[in-house]
Amino acid sequence: MMRSGAQAARDARRKFALLLLFGSTAGVASADDASFIAPADLAKASGAEIYSHVCQGCHMPEAQGAAGAGAYPKLAANPQLASWEYVALTVVRGRGGMPAFGRRGEEPFAFLNARLDDEEIARVVNYVRSHFGNRYKKTVTASEVAKLLHPGAAAAR
Amino acid sequence: MQDDSNSPAMSRRALLRMVGAAAGGATMYQAMSSLGLAADSPYRGPIDLQGAPRGASVLILGAGIAGMTAAYELRNAGYRVEVLEYNARAGGRNWTLRGGDTYTELGGYSQECRFDQDLYINPGPWRIPYHHRGILAYAKHFGVPLEAFVQVNYNAYIHSRDAFGGKPQRYREIKADYHGHVAELLAKATSQNALDRAVSKEDQEKLLESLRQWGALDKSYAYAANDLSSRRRGYQKEPGGGSSARPIPSTPIGLSALLQSDMWKSIPSGDEFDMQTALFQPVGGMGRIGEAFARELGPVIHYNAKVTDIHQDDRGVTVRYEDTRTPGAVRTSRADWCVCTIPLAILAQIPMNVEPVLRAAISAVSYASAVKIGLQFKRRFWEEDEEIYGGITYTDLPIFNIAYPSSGYQSGGKGVLLGGYVFGLAGMEFTAMTPADRVRKAVEYGAQIHPQYLREFDNGIAVAWHRAPFTMGCFGMWSEEARADHYEDLCRIDNRIALAGEHASYINGWQEGAVVSALDAIGRLHRRAVAQGVA
């Protein structure tokens, strides 16, 4: 599962250049402020926490969505959530302007983005499918999420 | 005076080499080669569009910088143009919030800007590098006055909650000390013949000489508390006049403490091609450029128009839209051609009969999360108490940075600074808050750097780009694979529709990307129109 040396060098170069461009390291959040989670601590975050920290900005506090020139779909009582694969794949691969949270490998904008591992994706998918008026029984596992095609996976091999 | 003319190039190279060593990766070494090689703007002067077919028309979607560049040039070339804009104002992300403005974001959260006269915040672009020739040319053309934007301020801070007991350090101290220590180490390595295989004896002499100059080393190649180092990092007691004028040198931070602080990460903040001096800002706010475009275009821009459908046939393009003030009533506009600058996050949701490859390209780009928070204070304490005039303080707190205004220096009365410019996960977290909470958090965290915050804070306003109804994100983020698979498809004209905007450029997140993308698109569209003759 090793990337080629040249690829790794290219990735490191881009990442570093972009770090300089934005002039700061991605924020390491305060341990005593529940408003912020350090990226490494997402591993300990519940589905509800991942939703409120990562998803809520667009999909809104009650998962009601929002509409302007375009719209963020409401997740509340949304029949499309019946398919766990649809939901998980959307989180993994993104949709429209939505970021691909399951992106693997290095990428230029990684530090501008948030990433979720398969376990975290499973947790947040289970959370939205069992809250906000959704009552789907199926509990998605990290290994099921892992089987979905992740963007950047080819480069990561 | 020392001749420092070679210092910047040398410092960057040496710095990167040491960063590479610190990171333990030979890969970082190669980061060097990518710096200074960033893409140059292709703008080479006014576009020449001759021979527009008589009566030909172009419908432009979006009155941001890309859309208005297209409209302005096409109209000048003789096309009949109409611009449909979702907002009640022109400019798009070129936007300045001033006292009296109101802004309602997605979710219905409304804010009123309560800044004093002449104070403002630029929620979107806020600086223009000297080599962004296109946007600079339009600012000049429209008579928008510019002033210097201070990117690097040696007296601003680098701050880390875990380093030096949370006490902010001046940029000049961190930079001087890092360079000084690195120079001393390299000088030692050279003197101990550790570089013999890499550097010839002849070059080693020059290297030592350059290290002494670059790092402010003394005669024995040591970086120490003396006048040499204090001339870089500042004095404990500054030189004065008359009696008791003798300066007292300051003491450099030790190498280990400096390395462990991670503060060296912020040293190259002005070394990127996009961040190198000179940078500019329009006097009175970035929005002056969009406002100037809008004045030029006048009634050509149709505001409050939410595009709902884009349909092309063999002879033209029909766009359906809704007047946002009277929802439900569908209107249509039609033209021979269409330049669509609608951000891709929104365009992905609008029905449009184009080739599947273009549809796929539109959906392949995600949008960056970014939040900016403007804070008004009762006085300019950063100038009065701390001698910080413009520039940026960097911190590892969730606000990421504090940027001081590059205008109105030493003016009495209130002042507005950028209390946070946040992206990534923390950006999403700030986005999730109510605007009032964002401001509250920015004040809370900023007070760890400037304790005056708590006493002097007046009011604030916060813009989270994912909640901006007209963009739904800050700018287009191309992954490497998406760029390879879809970029050319995105830029290719689909029958009668051409896309433009920063997303259709390699200068993502900059106004220059919007300008050069628009000029490129209308150039190709024009050639196609000329080839087809009268519509």
Q: Which residues does residue B373 pair with via DSSP β-bridges, in sequence order?
A: B420, B462
Give CATH for domain A5-22+45-156: 1.10.760.10
- Mean of pLDDT over chain B: 92
Chain B positions touching A68 (Cβ under 8 A) are 86, 106, 468-470, 472
Residue in B325, B331, B286 with CA at minimum distance from that of residue B308: B331
Q: According to CATH, where is 3.50.50.60 located in chain B?
A: 57-92+287-365+477-532
What pLDDT shows up at residue A108?
66
CB contact under 8 A, B466 and A70: no
Among residues B527, B532, B535, B498, the alpha carbon closest in space to that of B56 is found at B535
Of B59, B76, B89, B69, nearest to B133 by C-alpha is B69
Residue pointed to by tokens 């462990």: B260
CA terminus-to-terminus distance, chain B: 68
- Closest Cα partner for A143 from A123, A126, A121, A118? A118
pLDDT score for A109 = 67
Residue B335: beta bridge partners? B317
- In chain B, % of residues over pLDDT 90: 89
The pLDDT of residue B258 is 98
Round to whole Å and give the CA distance between B211 and B209: 5
Fold of B57-92+287-365+477-532: FAD/NAD(P)-binding domain (3.50.50)
What pLDDT does residue A113 have?
81
Q: What is the CATH number of domain B7-30+164-261?
A: 1.20.1440.240
Mean pLDDT of B488-493: 98
Q: For A24-38, A123-137, B20-34, which range has the lowest pLDDT when averaged over its residues?
A: B20-34
pLDDT in tens, B86-107: 999 999 999 999 999 999 999 9
| CB-CB contact of B282 with B146 (8 Å) | yes
pLDDT-derived band at B328 (thresholds 50, 70, 90) equals: confident
Residue B269, min C-alpha distance to chain A (Å): 5
**pTM for the full model?**
0.89
User: What integer pLDDT is reported at residue B327 of this predicted model?
Assistant: 83
User: pLDDT tens digit string along A59-107?
Assistant: 999 999 999 999 999 999 999 999 999 999 999 999 999 999 999 877 7
Q: Which residue has the tokens 């289970």?
A: A126
Q: Give how far A137 is from chain B: nearest CA, Å.
A: 28
Distance from the Cα of A62 to chain B's closest Cα (Å) equals: 10
The class level of CATH for B97-154+278-285+369-467 reads: alpha beta
The per-residue pLDDT for B40 is: 67
B-chain CB neighbours of A35 within 8 Å are 398, 429, 433, 437, 441
Flag whether pLDDT at B300 surpasses 90.
yes
Nearest to B20 by CA among A48, A16, A115, A150: A16
Q: Which of residues 76-135 of A touch B (CB under 8 A)?
A: 94-100, 103, 107-109, 111-114
Query: Quick one: pLDDT band at residue B210, thresholds 50, 70, 90?
Result: very high
Write down the ipTM of this complex: 0.88
Tokens of A31: 């341990």
Rounded to an integer, the average pLDDT of B393-397 is: 97
Domain spans of chain A?
5-22+45-156
Q: Where in chain B is the domain with CATH 3.90.660.10?
A: 97-154+278-285+369-467
Interatomic CA distance for residues A52 and A97, integer angstroms: 19
Q: Residues of chain B with pLDDT > 70: what percent?
A: 92
Q: B467 and A70: CB-CB below 8 Å? A: no
Local structure of B494: helix, strand or coil: strand
